[in-house]
Structure 1
Amino acid sequence: MKIIKGIFALLTVIVVAWGGLMFWQGLKSKQTTANIGLENGSLKPCGDKPNCISSVNEAGSPFFFRPIESENIEVTWDNLNILLPELGFTIVKAEENYIHATATTAFFRFVDDMEFLLNEANNKIFVRSQSRVGYSDMGTNRKRMHHLVHELMNMGQGPAEGEKP
């Protein structure tokens, strides 16, 4: 019986410590300065941590996410500006061809950064999404971006017909 109580106590300590660590990481992500912004007129590529996706990484890279393409990219850009707040994202900075938004995870309140760069000449919107803290995001940024692109398609001006997000 003492062994069972000891195991239970140890598991309780582990769970509480893990929860505290996640809570601390959530607080830390709100205070951490994001590594965002344009570099030579382009979004920055992802580093080596699997907590980021980007359209500027090489196709075939685990970090690559296809740019949003549309035959009417201006309407898609306008829809993106409307859709982000509707989906619960906070637009931090909105310029003529650049958007920086943040997404906050539901449970631990981690803050992730999302960036969008409009390239009207090629009818594309380049994207980048990265977690501020932690090593891996377990696919959260990719899932979030797929959901966003899906919602843009539902608005009628998402990726060009036949394109997968």
Structure 2
Amino acid sequence: MRVYRVIYLLIAMSLASCTSAPNQPASDAALPDCGTFPNCVSSSSTEGTQAVAPIAATAQQWLELKTWIAAQDDWTITIDNGDFMQAVVKTPLMRFRDDVQLRFDQNTGVIQVRSSSRLGISDMGANRSRVEMLRDQLSP
């Protein structure tokens, strides 16, 4: 009986950490906070494991990154408003849906980024890896 209780508890915890797609922030607002679970990284966050550096980019690199994202099979762009892009990414193995938000700031030459998992308490490093993959796309 204890095994079943543990299983039910784990299922309840996983379902309690389910989220929906984030809303598009106002044009000058920061990307949304990550929340309490370690299943998100954001350049707007200052919380240890959730913090990630923004991506340095020129206007041309921003356009190239958007083109690259649009060509990816597992990425679906849900919003593209010039300097803001939101996409849903399906993970390769389990096909979980994760959300990525990118905002390009021409004045500072950086892309603010947020990548978050919709399901689960932990992302096992998937969101940080995704941001680093985006950063690598802009490397010469």
1:127 to 113, 116, 129: 113
Q: 31, 34, 58: which is aligned to 1:46?
A: 34
For residues 77-116 of structure 1, the aligned pairs below 5 Å read 77-88=62-73, 89-116=75-102
- Within 1, Cα distance between the matches of 2:93 and 2:48? 30
Match for 2:51 among 64, 67, 70?
A: 64
Amino acid at match of 1:38: P
The one-letter code sitting in structure 2 at the alignment partner of 1:80 is L
Please tell me the residue identity of whatever aligns with 2:76. Answer: T
Unaligned runs of 5+ in 1: 1-13, 157-165
Between the aligned partners of 1:46 and 1:94, the Cα distance in structure 2 is 21
Alignment check: 8 A CA contact 1:83 1:152 kept? no
Q: Shift in Å at residue 47 of structure 1?
A: 0.8
Could you say what secondary structure the match of 2:63 adopts? Answer: helix
The amino acid of 2:62's aligned partner reads W
Pairing of 1:150-165 with structure 2 (within 5 A)? 150-153=136-139, 156=140
Name the larger-Rg structure. Answer: 1
Q: CA deviation at 1:37?
A: 2.1
- Counterpart residue type for residue 83 of structure 1: W
Letter in 1 for 2:45: N
Alpha-carbon offset, residue 96 of structure 1 = 1.4
What's the offset of the Cα at 1:85? 2.4
Higher helix share goes to which structure?
1
Q: Is the 8 A contact 2:65 2:137 kept in 1?
A: no
Aligned residues: 126
TM-score (norm 1): 0.68
Q: CA RMSD in A?
A: 2.3
CA-CA distance at 1:84 after TM superposition: 0.6
**Deviation per CA, 1:65-122, whole angstroms, max 9, x where unpaired?**
110113xx21111011111123331111100110001110122110000000111111
How far apart in 2 are the matches of 1:124 and 1:103?
22
